[in-house]
Structure 1
């Protein structure tokens, strides 16, 4: 599940389309077709490895997927000012980025992504807001879900300084030290802006039955195409017969 257990979520973009590899002149995600650039083929390879404590299991993440070979980085200002003589490329950049205030962005190559909150949305229930702790992982039980209930996860995050390319959400779940689920969701490529972005996962259903009830531990990560981690969050949650009293 996105936060708990279920099938892997399908990818969907809330920002711009993910950039293809082989682009050495510009790190902005290309349109289809790119007016002045040729898209090069190639696979992705995305590696994740982690050693779990007794709380989070003992398996290593050995899933291997595609890794993108990236071109040189540019500051956001340099990307906007680059290729000004190409009218079609200039219009395309404006369409992707909108009206970015260059005075409000840092002259840095690195994007900054701050995950603000998780929201658990279930039909007929108030929206459950889970702010991300400033100082680290949530302490104790973070939330409780009812078995057999439909829900979706929504994420709120803010992007600043530069474009973040291929932002991904990954989640792994353990019960009594045994890994029971692993999920990856492509969020997309996003330019910096003052307002937070939101991304809602596909709706899922919590498992039910006596063996599904109990306590779980989970590890959530947010990483981009440069293998830069913006958040690693370890937490625990319960699945019970009924929703907790409000």
Structure 2
């Protein structure tokens, strides 16, 4: 029995008039309806932690091909020269009419002081057979990325890398490469130098996933691979 019902029974025994009693019964009924309504709403309203993320992506307006960008404001000499300077060595006679940029990762190269560069060929389907490369423990190294851009400007190209050992994530990295216009010659970008871990527990096999994405989260390449850390470099 609810407290509200007990309160109505007590008021009748104490001699309150009929109107007061009727008013209290109405209050009880309204309270019951309010509770029922709240219960129904509660079943359909998500908890704060379960609410879907609001899409806060900013709309930047219509996208243009590179050729359309150059045609715009072509009568403005200063603006035209600024665009040409921004685009660098683009062949203006062969500019693509495609909205989407084309980014092709040509190779990844391991650089380490006192050792010849190790050039990694990009595998078909993004999955190298076997271990892709070996790093020596306690060694300074960096990656050089070689890539080309065609059709349109790629904005906010970035590299992400996640590493696992025996199913446990042990490292995660992200590097912003930049914004690039189409050009005949490939671009190169050297990642900051890093050092491989050392010791018995650091040695062994690792799995990793590398991605190249732009500001629109368009993925140009995903590589899922394994590599090893050993006491010494692999024999060449």
TM-score, normalised by the number of residues in structure 1:
0.70
Question: Rg: which structure is higher?
Answer: 2
Give the match for residue 146 of structure 2: 156
Q: State the 4+ residue runs in structure 1 displaced beyond 6 angstroms.
A: none
Deviation at 1:133, TM superposition (A): 1.4
Q: Distance in 1 between matches of 2:170 and 2:79?
A: 46
| Alignment: residue pair count | 181
Deviation at 1:175, TM superposition (A): 0.3
- Unmatched tracts of structure 2, length 5 or more: 1-55
Is residue 245 from structure 1 mapped to residue 208 from structure 2 by the alignment? no
Is residue 142 from structure 1 mapped to residue 116 from structure 2 by the alignment? no
Deviation at 1:92, TM superposition (A): 1.6
Give the match for residue 190 of structure 2: 200
Is residue 176 from structure 1 mapped to residue 166 from structure 2 by the alignment? yes
Is residue 88 from structure 1 mapped to residue 78 from structure 2 by the alignment? yes
Deviation at 1:91, TM superposition (A): 2.1
Partner residue of 1:225 out of 212, 215, 235: 215
Is residue 234 from structure 1 mapped to residue 224 from structure 2 by the alignment? yes
> Is the CA contact (8 Å cut-off) linking 1:68 and 1:225 kept in structure 2?
no
Q: Distance in 2 between matches of 1:68 and 1:148?
A: 44
Q: Distance in 2 between matches of 1:243 and 1:89?
A: 53
Tell me the SS of whatever aligns to 1:244: coil
Deviation at 1:129, TM superposition (A): 0.2
Q: Distance in 2 between matches of 1:215 and 1:98?
A: 43
Deviation at 1:243, TM superposition (A): 0.9
Q: Distance in 2 between matches of 1:148 and 1:68?
A: 44
Deviation at 1:104, TM superposition (A): 2.3
Partner residue of 2:65 out of 69, 75, 81: 75
Give the match for residue 15 of structure 1: none
Q: Distance in 1 between matches of 2:119 and 2:58?
A: 34
CA RMSD of aligned residues (A): 1.5
Q: Distance in 2 between matches of 1:70 and 1:222?
A: 22
1:59-91 deviations in Å (ceiling 9; x for gaps): xxxxxxx96653321011111121223333222
> Is the CA contact (8 Å cut-off) linking 2:158 and 2:176 kept in structure 1?
yes
Higher helix share: 2
Give the match for residue 13 of structure 1: none
> Is the CA contact (8 Å cut-off) linking 2:108 and 2:145 kept in structure 1?
yes
Identify if the C-alpha distance between structure 1 residues 227 and 179 changes in structure 2 by more than 3 Å, giving closer, same or farther: same
